[in-house]
């Protein structure tokens, strides 16, 4: 510090530190770059759809072309609500995901309804209580007329409620009316028969998986999908009455599935994820987004692989998805963990079920169009095998556990669901049991009418329609042990 004497002999203290130079960043923080025009406002999350907000700009929120462009054949009328469109973009942008895309579609349907009815926003508010409740009341009429199901009404209400809550209008969201007995018309998923339907599909999937895996290990390219089974195909073709030309076209799809539709290794990933649907009973979305690091091996009860995931719709409930409860399941996941690295080249940070794009990029199946099982189910259908989806397999898993344990608590834990939900599903017993009992009764009645002794007819009918599952089967290592 330096002390100097001014002309008036008054001591002055001076500091050697340099003055701070004021920059623009200090007075005006940098803002995030946002699309300036409505035409370029799009959001895409972990789902196959893209939300094009320019739809909200035009009367009726008309659909666009498959490339997201305005359709020359459509008359687009600008409704002069750009500020509203930008507000909706900012509202839905945070953590935009699969559910958010559904809410955007619900928003487009709501605004489209207002436009078609010639209803203007009240005091500039598109979500005025009179408008949103009017929309719900219109749904009540549609449901009453049989034009829409209650599930569609529930979805419309959910979208409006989500947006209202995001705008801090919780009271308005709570005032939205909803259908009475909201789930009374819901069609529950049906499980499939383990012996007649599930096991033949499981054999086909394991055959396809290990067949394609051998090509991956050997560095070769398959000429036909290993799902192909000449015997099954011929039997199905005969039952359908196909001619030689039809047979040739159908068989060609098994060749094209590993040659004309992108990287053939994607077919291996599709089959692998379907096997995991079957062995874990997990929901599709958590499984598609899993990385290799989400799979943990635990040395319990002989060693199991645990798939770590959460169930968003159940307030991020932690799921316990054990795999490897038998030799076939354990061998499958061990082989797949190695194969997935070979495909993605990304180690533990890579996707558990990688999808290779035509450009050579690796994505997950949530970022691609179409469910992974759709392609495989088309091939299974040509063999006369049953279509399977995650929902069908979860229901089958629950049906099987209920059959052999008759324990609501155990089934609810396995399904990651509430006891009340499971109780509703099984309050009337298992449909498969009803079917078997009815068939046995009809067969016995028919045989008795033909003159067969009552006791013998009943005994033979019970034998012909008995269920293969039993307490003994349940306690065995698993239903897929013999498939290797």
Assigned token pair, 447:
């045989």
Q: Are 227 and 376 in contact (CB under 8 A)?
A: yes
Higher per-residue confidence, 469 vs 327: 327
What is the pLDDT confidence band of residue 199, given thresholds at 50, 70 and 90? confident
Q: Are 354 and 362 in contact (CB under 8 A)?
A: yes
Region of poorest pLDDT, from 99-103, 106-110, 149-153, 433-437: 433-437
Provide the pLDDT for residue 403: 53
Average pLDDT over residues 33-59: 78
What CA dihedral angle connects 254, 259, 260 and 263, to 10 degrees?
120
Is pLDDT above 90 for 169? yes
Q: Which residues contact 320 (CB under 8 A, 6 or more apart)?
A: 306, 416
Q: Are 373 and 270 in contact (CB under 8 A)?
A: yes
Q: Which residues contact 132 (CB under 8 A, 6 or more apart)?
A: 110, 160, 164, 172, 176
Assigned token pair, 344:
């993605």
Assigned token pair, 394:
């979860």
Q: Are 290 and 309 in contact (CB under 8 A)?
A: yes
pLDDT digits (tens, 9 = 90+) for 291-304: 888 777 665 555 55
Provide the pLDDT for residue 23: 46
Assigned token pair, 335:
């082989």
Q: What is the 3-state secondary structure (H, E, C) of the chain?
A: CEEEECCCCCEEEECCCCCCCCCHHHHCCCCCCCCCCHHHCEECCCCCCCEEHHHHHECCCCCCCCCCCCCCCCCCCECCCHHHHHHHHHHHCCCCCHHHHHHHHHHHHHHHHHHHHCCCCECCECCCHHHHHHHHHHHHHHHHCCCCCHHHHHHHHHHHHHHHHHCCCHHHHHCCCCCCCCCCCCCCCCCCCHHHHHHHHHHHHHHHHHHHHHHHHHCCCCCCCCCCCHHHHHHHHHHHCCCHHHHHHHHHHHHHCCCCCCCCHHHHHHHHHHHHHHHHCCCHHHHHCCEHHHEEEECCCCCEEEEEEEEHHHCCEEEEEEECCCHHHHHHHHHHHHHHHHHHCCHHHCECCCEECCCCCEECHHHCCCCHHHHHHHHHHHCCCCCCCHHHHHHHHHHHHHHHHCCHHHHHHHCCCCHHHHHHHCCCCCHHHHHHHHHHHHHHHHHHHCCCCHHHHHHHHHHHCCCCCCHHHHHCCCCCHHHC
Closest listed residue to residue 129, CA positions, set 182, 162, 171, 77:
171
Q: Which residues contact 392 (CB under 8 A, 6 or more apart)?
A: 189, 190, 191, 192
Provide the pLDDT for residue 363: 86
Higher per-residue confidence, 34 vs 10: 34
pTM (two decimals)? 0.55
pLDDT digits (tens, 9 = 90+) for 110-144: 999 999 999 999 999 999 999 999 999 999 999 88
Cα 255 versus chain centre, distance? 28
Provide the pLDDT for residue 125: 93
Closest listed residue to residue 399, CA positions, set 373, 438, 436, 433:
433
Is pLDDT above 90 for 232? yes
Is pLDDT above 50 for 12? no
In angstroms, rounded to a whole number, what is the distance separating the alpha carbons of residues 230 and 251? 9
Task: Select, from the ranges 206-210, 363-367, 453-457, the one with the highest average predicted confidence (pLDDT).
Answer: 206-210
> Mean pLDDT score of the chain, rounded to an integer?
74
Task: Give me the sheet containing 295-298, strands edge to edge.
Answer: 295-298, 304-311, 317-323
Is pLDDT above 80 for 167? yes
Residue 263: count of CB within 10 angstroms of its CB: 16
Angle made by CA atoms 82, 86, 88, in degrees to the nearest 5 = 115
Average pLDDT over residues 168-175: 92
pLDDT digits (tens, 9 = 90+) for 410-469: 444 444 554 454 444 444 444 454 445 445 555 555 555 666 666 666 666 555 555 443
- Please identify which residue in the block is written with the tokens 């100097």: 4
Provide the pLDDT for residue 384: 92
Task: Select, from the ranges 26-30, 66-70, 217-221, 325-329, the one with the highest average predicted confidence (pLDDT).
Answer: 217-221
Is pLDDT above 50 for 74? yes
């Amino acid at each position: 510090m330096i002390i100097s004497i001014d002309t008036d002999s008054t001591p002055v203290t001076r500091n050697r530190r340099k003055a701070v130079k004021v920059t623009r960043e200090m007075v005006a923080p940098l803002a995030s770059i946002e699309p300036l025009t409505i035409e370029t406002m799009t959001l895409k999350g972990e789902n196959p759809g893209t939300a094009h907000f320019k739809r909200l700009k035009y009367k009726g929120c008309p659909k666009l072309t498959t490339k997201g462009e305005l359709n020359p054949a459509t008359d687009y009328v600008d409704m002069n609500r750009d500020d509203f469109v930008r507000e909706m973009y900012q509202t839905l942008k945070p953590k935009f995901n699969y559910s958010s895309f559904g809410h955007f579609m619900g928003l487009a349907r709501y605004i489209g309804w207002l436009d078609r009815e010639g209803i203007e926003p009240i005091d500039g508010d598109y979500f005025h209580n009179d408008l949103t409740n009017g929309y719900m009341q219109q749904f009540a009429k549609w449901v009453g007329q049989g034009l829409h199901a209650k599930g569609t009404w529930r979805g419309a209400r959910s979208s409006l409620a989500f947006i209202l809550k995001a705008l801090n209008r919780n009271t308005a969201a709570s005032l939205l009316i909803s259908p009475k007995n909201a789930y009374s018309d819901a069609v529950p998923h049906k499980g499939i028969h383990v012996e007649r339907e599930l096991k033949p599909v499981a054999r086909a999937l394991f055959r396809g998986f290990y067949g394609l895996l051998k090509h991956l290990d050997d560095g070769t390219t398959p000429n036909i999908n290993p799902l192909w089974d000449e015997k099954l195909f011929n039997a199905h073709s005969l039952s359908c009455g196909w001619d030689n030309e039809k047979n040739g076209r159908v068989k060609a799809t098994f060749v094209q599935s590993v040659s004309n539709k992108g990287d053939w290794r994607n077919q291996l990933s599709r089959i692998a994820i379907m096997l995991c649907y079957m062995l874990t009973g997990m929901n599709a979305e958590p499984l598609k987004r899993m990385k290799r690091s989400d799979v943990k091996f635990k040395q319990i009860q002989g060693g199991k692989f645990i798939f770590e995931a959460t169930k968003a719709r159940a307030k991020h409930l932690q799921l316990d998805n054990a795999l490897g409860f038998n030799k076939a399941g354990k061998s499958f996941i061990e082989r797949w963990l190695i194969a997935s690295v070979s495909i993605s080249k990304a180690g533990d940070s890579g996707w558990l079920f990688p999808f290779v794009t035509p450009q050579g990029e690796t994505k997950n199946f949530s970022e691609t169009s179409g469910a992974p099982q759709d392609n495989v189910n088309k091939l299974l259908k040509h063999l006369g095998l049953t279509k399977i989806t995650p929902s069908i397999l979860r229901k089958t898993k629950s049906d099987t556990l209920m059959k052999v344990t008759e324990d609501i608590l155990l089934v609810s834990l396995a399904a990651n669901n509430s006891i009340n939900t499971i109780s509703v599903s099984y309050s009337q017993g298992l449909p498969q049991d009803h079917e078997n009992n009815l068939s046995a009764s009809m067969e016995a009645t028919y045989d008795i009418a033909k003159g067969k002794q009552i006791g013998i007819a009943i005994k033979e009918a019970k034998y012909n329609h008995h269920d293969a599952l039993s307490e003994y089967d349940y306690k065995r290592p698993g239903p897929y042990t013999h498939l290797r």
